[in-house]
Structure 1
Amino acid sequence: MKGAKPMKSVNTEIKRLGFLVVVPHQMFIRDLGKYTTLIIEGKRLPKYSEYRYDFYKTTYHPRQKGTKVKVYVKEASAYKVIKKVKGFMDYIGLKPEETEKNEVYDTQE
């Protein structure tokens, strides 16, 4: 790809999109509202040398006592999932600048 910028680390790229890094390379979340959350989950699969990612949206329905899950990408590369997240955010009109301060949770304790 001519003129394409090299991707920084997955954690950095996803954090720039407004997600919280819950577990580096493995779990990222972004609240869209009181009941809706975007989730990116990374996992190592035997047939791939790098992490593969799922991107989905969960919506909690308090009156129905249940959660609706909409999967957008399953077992995709970091590049593909970041591209899909950017497209989704453009679609709903959400810009990365409209995010709160992001923190990396220390799970090593």
Structure 2
Amino acid sequence: MLTIYKCKNFNKTGKILLPSKWRNQFGLLPGRLADLRFDQNQIVIKKANLDSTHNKRLISENGSIHIPKELQSLLDISEEEEYCLFIDKENKCFVLRLISLEN
């Protein structure tokens, strides 16, 4: 089950901040890799499986992650587009969705 964390505008750098409480629980610690995959009009951010072929990104020192341009294109996300970040405790991941796709 998804729990909404926060909605805000997507910035031009493509970085989003992952909340530390869940980041730690999900094993998404600074300096570690995360898998980012496009799935049904959303981006799923999860602890990296080194055998997967999903996009991989490092978690920055402050807990942010860069959403690659190819995933931004698939989601049709543009600068200043509003998105929501959801927490999926059961699957230990974050889910990013555009507001317009929520309705």
TM-score for the superposition, normalised by structure 2: 0.31
Larger radius of gyration: 1
**Greater fraction strand:** 2
- TM-score, normalised relative to structure 1: 0.30
Q: Which has the higher contact order (CA 8 A, sep 6+)?
A: 2
